[in-house]
Amino acid sequence: MNIFVLTGAGISAESGLGTFRDRGGLWSRFDPARLATPEAFAEDPDTVHAFYNLRRRGVCDAAPNAAHRALARLQAALPARGGRLFLCTQNIDDLHERAGASDVVHMHGEIFRARCLSCGASHPWRANLGVATACPACGRAGGMRPDVVWFGEVPLHLDAIDAGLAAADLFVAIGTSGVVYPAAGYVAQARRRGIPTHEINLAPSDTAHVFDTAAYGPATETVPAWVEAVLARPRSP
Ligand code: APR
């Protein structure tokens, strides 16, 4: 069985990383128009750098939780059953990888990468970024930005995601509010293909009505329970 899993900020909430739209979430405390758009970066790069430097340090201090580990376990177990887990995340943290997952598709980029606006090179990056930061490839300073996707920019790996959806026998969304497209539209795309869809979230998302089934509760409880149930199913012949 090929399973397409889409994760959002909710899967990292119990690792101490804030979500965006819950009460007290990032966008209730900060204005995304001033921090997460190319225009904001052009107008006030220092403030945008400070915001992402803070988030980068927060991810360094966080640890994967039982939900991340359960997905890594599922990804490792599926090939022996003739299947595959396509793990697509909207998150810019690396908690899936640190839990042992591989080939994670970061459609909104990664907090631990930086990109040069002068030469376009993308680099692994764990240090703070600033307007004086020079690109290791071209040496120019002043053009390094977090290699994440801001509002108004095109998400990454869309072809790979479409291929993953086309090959899926099951679509599962975990910890996402279902308000940001194109990710929020993947469940409808899966339904049009006639495959089962399952939502795992703390509460019904904006697209809850599109899903066939759902499990609501903290991801550290609901995701391991779902993975155990999948792995307990008899292996398809
Ligand atoms: N367990 C499971 N789900 C949770 C938990 C938890 N412990 N805590 C919160 N959630 C759920 C919330 O109910 C909510 O539906 O996670 C979801 C988080 O929604 P958002 O904060 O909107 O995050 P997300 O859906 O990932 O946002 C998508 O928006 O701002 C952009 O680029 C940003 O990737 C992000 C995108």
In tens, the pLDDT along 147-203 reads: 999 999 999 999 999 999 999 999 999 999 999 999 999 999 999 999 999 999 999
In sequence order, the 6+-apart residues with CB closer than 8 A to the CB of 67 are 11, 14, 174, 175, 219, 220, 222, 223, 224
Q: Is 167 exposed, middle or buried (0-12, 13-18, 19+ CB in 10 A)?
A: exposed
* Side chain identity at residue 103, one-letter code: D
Which residue, by CA, sits nearest to atom 10 of ligand 1? 10
Residue 233, pLDDT > 90, answer: no
Please tell me the predicted confidence (pLDDT) of residue 234: 80
CB 86 within 8 A of CB 7: no
Read off the pLDDT band of 236 (50, 70, 90).
low
Residue 96 among the catalytic residues: no
CB atoms within 10 A of CB 41: 19
Domains of the chain listed by start with CATH number? 1-16+64-108+155-237 (3.40.50.1220), 18-61+111-148 (3.30.1600.10)
Q: Are strands 144-148 and 109-116 parallel, antiparallel or unpaired?
A: antiparallel
What spacing in Å lies between the alpha carbon of 24 and ligand 1's midpoint?
12
pLDDT band at 112 (very low <50, low <70, confident <90, very high): very high
pLDDT score of 142: 86
Ligand 1 probe mutation, 11, 14, 21, 186, most atoms within 8 A of CB: 21
